[in-house]
């Protein structure tokens, strides 16, 4: 969102600035707050000129729309509110592409592995919650079943894309997906956490859902590489990425820590823990959660347990992308609480404090939400990323009553 657009939106919504009421111990109150914030998010779709997408183009990147639809799938599953189902179906169909893997022709040259995987999360989430399927595209020879656009088939197609690209990318760094998969794209020489954790998470979720060992093995392999490459460093700190350009061969890691990177590994590890029951995965979940807690919560003594984005938030310098990252952390911590009962209580305590702060930052009426959850009110910095983060934070309080994450029998 450009600064001038942001001011206009702010002027429109400032007139109706009242705090959103949220009682975190009252399910009805949480559902009402979630509905209001989801309505605010939906405005960004309603006012978009591109079918199937929230506001476009730059700096509203395509991947954010994938994240937005995934949040609305969670919203539907957690609340039983059917408002968005048909628009979710339309939007996902429009972005699937001819191979049913979220590689649409329109994004050619722009789309990177991390962009794709944020759309794939919508299919994985739909698969796990039994979200209504798309009208079946029959494919008799499909290895995954009779519909080539079933949620599972879509996730598997993307998984297979990632395997192919990993193999191509393995000439450097001993493995790892590059950020970009198009060699002409800027960023082709970077191997980053959001892409590799996304592949890890896709493999782990398919492993748990299907029980197919191919996915379990890949999840283990991607995790191991993430550790040996240093993307996951000592003390379970998760760093942004590493270059393989000019012979660098991943010898020096970019040590920026963003909340969505650690969150993506955390959620994948939670699926591996639930699927394998191996103590190592529970150790990994606990380690990542400990580090996420000390790195991304409690920015000030007056804000214990409130989530924030350390690199950019205090100085009000988060981009549209970066403003959405807390949504990934809230969402995936919530699902981790369900998958790994030993960490459930501490996660829900953190999410409770954070959701309370997030809701206090929503101005009510149209439900537009601010950036800083630790100021005890609305800070005036609105945008799609903020709206998505607040929605995910409030929704995560309902995760305990959500449908069970399915597995194939």
Ligand X SMILES: *[C@@H]1O[C@H](CO)[C@@H](O)[C@H](O)[C@H]1NC(C)=O
Of the pair 107, 350, the CB lying nearest ligand X is at 350
**Contact call for residue 156 and ligand X (CB under 6 A):** yes
**Contact call for residue 142 and ligand X (CB under 6 A):** no
Pick the stretch among 61-69, 288-296, 337-345, 374-382 that binds ligand X (CB under 6 A): 374-382
> Least distance from C-beta 110 to ligand X, angstroms?
26
> Least distance from C-beta 335 to ligand X, angstroms?
16
> Least distance from C-beta 98 to ligand X, angstroms?
15
Structure tokens at 122: 């919508």
Of the pair 105, 138, the CB lying nearest ligand X is at 138
**Binds ligand X by CB under 6 A, chosen from 42, 179, 181, 373:** 42
**Contact call for residue 26 and ligand X (CB under 6 A):** yes
Of the pair 77, 107, the CB lying nearest ligand X is at 77
> Least distance from C-beta 218 to ligand X, angstroms?
8
**Contact call for residue 249 and ligand X (CB under 6 A):** yes
Integer Cα distance of 215 and 320 in angstroms = 33
User: Measuring CA to CA, which residue among 122, 44, 29 is closest to residue 79?
Assistant: 29
**Contact call for residue 146 and ligand X (CB under 6 A):** yes
Residues between 206 and 245 that touch ligand X (CB under 6 A): 212, 214, 217, 220-221, 224
Pick the stretch among 67-75, 232-240, 298-306, 385-393 that binds ligand X (CB under 6 A): 298-306
> Least distance from C-beta 233 to ligand X, angstroms?
15
> Least distance from C-beta 91 to ligand X, angstroms?
13
Of the pair 260, 313, the CB lying nearest ligand X is at 313
Sheet with 241-243: list strands edge to edge.
Answer: 190-192, 241-243, 253-254
**Contact call for residue 99 and ligand X (CB under 6 A):** no
**Contact call for residue 302 and ligand X (CB under 6 A):** yes
Judge contact between 148 and 140, C-beta under 8 A.
no
**Binds ligand X by CB under 6 A, chosen from 143, 234, 315, 409:** 143
Judge contact between 320 and 59, C-beta under 8 A.
yes
Judge contact between 384 and 1, C-beta under 8 A.
yes
Task: Note if the bond before 57 is cis, omega within 30 degrees.
Answer: yes
* Binding footprint of ligand X, residue count (CB under 6 A): 33
Residue-wise burial string across 142-172, b where 16 or more C-beta atoms lie within 10 A, e elsewhere:
bebeebbbbbbbbbbbbbebbeebbeebeeb
Pick the stretch among 21-29, 179-187, 262-270, 388-396 that binds ligand X (CB under 6 A): 21-29
Q: Which residues here bind ligand X, judged by CB under 6 A?
A: 23, 26, 28-29, 32, 42, 46, 79-80, 140-141, 143, 145-146, 156, 159-160, 173-174, 212, 214, 217, 220-221, 224, 249, 300, 302-303, 374-376, 401
């Amino acid at each position: 969102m450009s600064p001038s657009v942001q001011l206009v939106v702010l002027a429109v919504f400032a007139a109706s600035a009242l705090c959103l009421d949220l009682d975190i111990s009252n399910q009805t109150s949480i559902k009402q707050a979630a509905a209001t914030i989801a309505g605010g998010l939906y405005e960004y779709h309603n006012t978009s000129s591109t079918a199937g997408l929230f506001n476009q183009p730059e700096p509203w990147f395509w991947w954010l729309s994938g994240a937005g639809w995934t949040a609305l799938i969670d919203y539907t599953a957690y609340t039983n509110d059917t408002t968005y189902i048909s628009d979710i179906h339309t939007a996902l169909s429009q972005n699937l592409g001819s191979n049913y893997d979220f590689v649409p022709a329109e994004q050619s040259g722009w789309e990177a592995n991390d962009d794709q995987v944020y759309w794939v999360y919508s299919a994985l989430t739909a698969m796990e919650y039994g979200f209504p399927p798309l009208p079946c595209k029959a494919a008799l020879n499909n290895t995954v079943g009779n519909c080539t656009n079933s949620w599972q088939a879509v996730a598997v197609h993307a998984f297979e894309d990632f395997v192919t690209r990993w193999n191509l990318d393995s000439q450097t760094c001993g493995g790892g997906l590059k950020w970009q998969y198009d060699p002409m794209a800027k960023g082709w020489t970077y191997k980053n956490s959001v892409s590799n954790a996304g592949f890890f998470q896709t493999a782990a979720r398919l492993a748990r859902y299907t029980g197919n060992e191919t996915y379990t093995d890949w999840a283990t392999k991607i995790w191991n590489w993430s550790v040996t490459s240093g993307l996951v460093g000592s003390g379970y700190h998760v760093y942004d990425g590493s270059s393989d350009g000019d012979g660098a061969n991943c010898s020096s890691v970019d040590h920026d820590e963003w909340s969505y990177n650690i969150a993506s590994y955390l959620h994948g590890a939670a699926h591996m823990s639930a699927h394998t029951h191996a103590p190592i995965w529970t150790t990994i979940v606990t380690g990542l959660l400990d580090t996420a807690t000390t790195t991304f919560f409690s920015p000030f003594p007056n804000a214990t347990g409130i989530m924030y984005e350390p690199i950019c938030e205090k100085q009000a310098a988060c981009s549209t992308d970066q403003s959405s990252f807390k949504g990934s952390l809230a969402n995936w911590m919530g699902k981790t609480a369900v998958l790994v009962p030993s960490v459930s209580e501490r996660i829900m305590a953190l999410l409770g404090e954070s959701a309370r702060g997030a809701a206090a930052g929503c101005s009510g009426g149209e439900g537009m939400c601010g950036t800083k959850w630790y100021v005890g009110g609305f800070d005036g910095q609105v945008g799609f990323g903020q709206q998505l983060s607040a929605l995910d934070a409030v929704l995560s309080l309902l995760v305990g009553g959500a449908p069970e994450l399915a597995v194939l029998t």
